[in-house]
Structure 1
């Protein structure tokens, strides 16, 4: 079975500082005080991998140092694996910066290795990370070739065997003691080890080393724990510098929402809720709940809602880290369209509601619903947007004005009674309400809706249009 190994030698550096080309940057492992990653400017100025921290600082005083963070690379490897899962189901994460992909069983689907690699390469290019790759007929052989030769895409067994035999013993993952033992007996290349029979190897070297060689050859299986994508979406990005303006946050946020779209569409899912957690300089978090009136999977639509919501908010402190979460998922419902119906040029009702809620606030957008209530001031109530009130009985729709006051006001002018009375007696189980309603016209020519209480007081309830 053919395997593909992907190696990302400077994943942390690429994820944070790929576009920073004006300053020399190096990632330093604090445990060993050695440079483990550096950008092109630092390399040009003489900074080498494995160089001590003191030597690097003395050589280049303006060198910007970043502590190595293993968890950052682990998260980015998971993000890459999640994206590549749409092309290959068998993926294993190889910390700290590698991926195993079982590709031999995908050739029928993609019509060969070349077409398959084009799909994978296009997905990797979206990340913008540097990587090397190699194929082989065992996972360990693919890893050795990717880390030493790099960029080998081949399914011919004889050719891959030639590449493997040319490896120096330093390319193998063995400790210094084992390396010195091989050098003392004159072994300099992997080809020399491959020519020695397994029985002879077992007599000369430790059992663990012999098993390691057999795993490279594919004779013994190499144990792998395959990646299983999460059921919910959560992805983070660490910002290059502290951001104080919400408008600037939209650019890194767009990358995370694009990853969310890929996650949803691969699974045929959509959501009405996306959460954006902003980690601030002091460690506090400011969470933004982005809501849609209908379940969507489009990055453009989510970003439009986020943009409107970010325009209304104020950051309490500079932001250093962004996390996007999407946990409430549902199957995407595609709306069928008539073949001969012209394409709609406007927004769908629910889409318009979503935009208004993001712009004005969720509580500021609502419908007015008529309810089964005899008292006119309580007859209309707020409800969720686009909720229908078709369940109102026909006998509850008598003559009513278009404008009803939220609170009736005492009548203080002369009017002419034109229609009435209409008696309303309700709320008998609490405080009984007894009113006689009339339609009248005042001296200004306005048609009013009045009522008289049982104590003889008159009030204006509303006006007709």
Structure 2
């Protein structure tokens, strides 16, 4: 088997920088702040863990006390390390990698392992797989050190040491592995000290020791670990499967005060949502956006569409309309977009093989969604039938359903009805000049004390108007509606 390991040396830093660039690009003053220095400090806030290139160019280095870093860069932007957040970010990267490789295993907090031996024929060789990963990393603005290996541990150690190469040559990979210093082999401190006292400094020197001597002088666990690196002992990997939901978070080193600044990170996140939905061959009609504030409760915005949707631009337009109706109540420190409702994608009803026929149903859903985003979910209503034969009681208004796909009987089986139904019948003042259909008897209402007993006709008046008239057995002739 052949494995590729991706080590993210500063995953949290890359994530914050990407969110910060997108957020600051939308500020009203138009000032570009992407070059500002940013560091990630430990939870206690005393020491620098990760520093961006801009900070390093000004003398800030990982491991430096924070006070020293601030002295060098007074305008330094600071973010605290968060283990749970790093795991969430790694899960987001695992979800992305799963689109390209089915057999992957996350190595928290900063690594992903992928089995690529079975992908070479699909992609056309290891070089094509490697290039696919590199292009995706570049698009996601992430830094990763990659390495191949015949075993998972071999690929991991080479990647974390920054000595990975794209190769399938077993001898070359073993030579590369043998040159690793023992400090990069992730041995416990006691075992590392013993090996150094034995005069060993490279992994290759340790792998040449007899197995019995290694187990005796070190420990059986150390022997098992070295054998897993070499591939002489099984090292099964637990395959990872993506959860059946979508969740993306954007963190900002500096608070976003205007909603325009949120549209840029949302555009990126919604683009990833569109890719995810296309990969799933699914749609959604519900998004939840949570805006986190420093001194206020989070703002929760539920975005709903009138039908299944997957296009990022449509979701972004709805969010823009929602922001216009609900300005930010406080600066935003981070945002979370999540989707938990998925539905199968429906085939287009168009007759064009190339998909160029306008989809009127899709356009209708887009219009309804925009109106609901601007006016409110309950602002729009539709006519719905009611189980009553009396025309004035046969319909009612109701809120628009989330998915309007109700079936209706064939039009040919329904009686003709006018498009304009009067609020109440008017007495017929003249004798019709022509009769076209009728009578249609409607009798009912005995259950609520408003009984009717009518014979309906379609008739033309002398003026040329086509009327829906009826004769009431007690009160005479009336006009109840007009045909167009």
- Which interval holds the TM-score relative to the shorter structure? 0.7 to 0.9
Greater relative CO (CA pairs within 8 A, separation 6+): 2
Helix, strand or coil: the match of 1:428? coil
Displacement of 1:438 in angstroms is: 11
1:355 to 367, 371, 375: 367
TM-score w.r.t. length of structure 1: 0.83
Q: Structure 2 CA distance, aligned partners of 1:6 and 1:395?
A: 65
Contact 1:264 1:270 in 2 (8 A): yes
**1:102-181 paired onto structure 2 within 5 Å:** 102-181=115-194
Aligned residue number for residue 89 of structure 2: 76
For 1:6-44, what per-residue CA distance to the aligned partner results, in whole angstroms no more than 9, with x for missing partners? Answer: 011111111112445432221111258332111112212
Displacement of 1:425 in angstroms is: 6.0
Residues 89 and 102 of structure 1: is their aligned pair in 2 closer, same or farther, counting only changes over 3 Å? same
**1:250-399 paired onto structure 2 within 5 Å:** 250-335=263-348, 338=351, 343-344=356-357, 346-360=358-372, 361-368=376-383, 373-382=388-397, 384=400, 390=409, 397=416
For 1:92-130, what per-residue CA distance to the aligned partner results, in whole angstroms no more than 9, with x for missing partners? Answer: 111111111111122222221011122222222221111
Q: Structure 1 CA distance, aligned partners of 2:109 and 2:454?
A: 81
Q: Structure 2 CA distance, aligned partners of 1:162 and 1:395?
A: 82
1:22 to 21, 31, 35: 35
1:404 aligns with 2:404: no
For 1:370-413, what per-residue CA distance to the aligned partner results, in whole angstroms no more than 9, with x for missing partners? Answer: 65645443344336568676578979647x582523xx5999xx
Deviating more after overlay: 56-65 vs 447-456: 447-456
For 1:136-179, what per-residue CA distance to the aligned partner results, in whole angstroms no more than 9, with x for missing partners? Answer: 11112211211223441111111111211221222121244433
RMSD over aligned Cα atoms: 3.9
Give the number of equivalent residue pairs: 457
Contact 2:306 2:368 in 1 (8 A): no
For 1:38-83, what per-residue CA distance to the aligned partner results, in whole angstroms no more than 9, with x for missing partners? Answer: 1112212222222233443444444332211112221111111111
Aligned residue number for residue 2 of structure 1: 2
Residues 316 and 418 of structure 1: is their aligned pair in 2 closer, same or farther, counting only changes over 3 Å? farther
1:185 aligns with 2:203: no
Aligned residue number for residue 110 of structure 2: 97
Contact 2:425 2:480 in 1 (8 A): yes
Helix, strand or coil: the match of 2:214? helix
Residues 274 and 392 of structure 1: is their aligned pair in 2 closer, same or farther, counting only changes over 3 Å? same
Aligned residue number for residue 58 of structure 2: 45
Residues 200 and 447 of structure 1: is their aligned pair in 2 closer, same or farther, counting only changes over 3 Å? closer
Residues 137 and 332 of structure 1: is their aligned pair in 2 closer, same or farther, counting only changes over 3 Å? same
Aligned residue number for residue 442 of structure 1: none
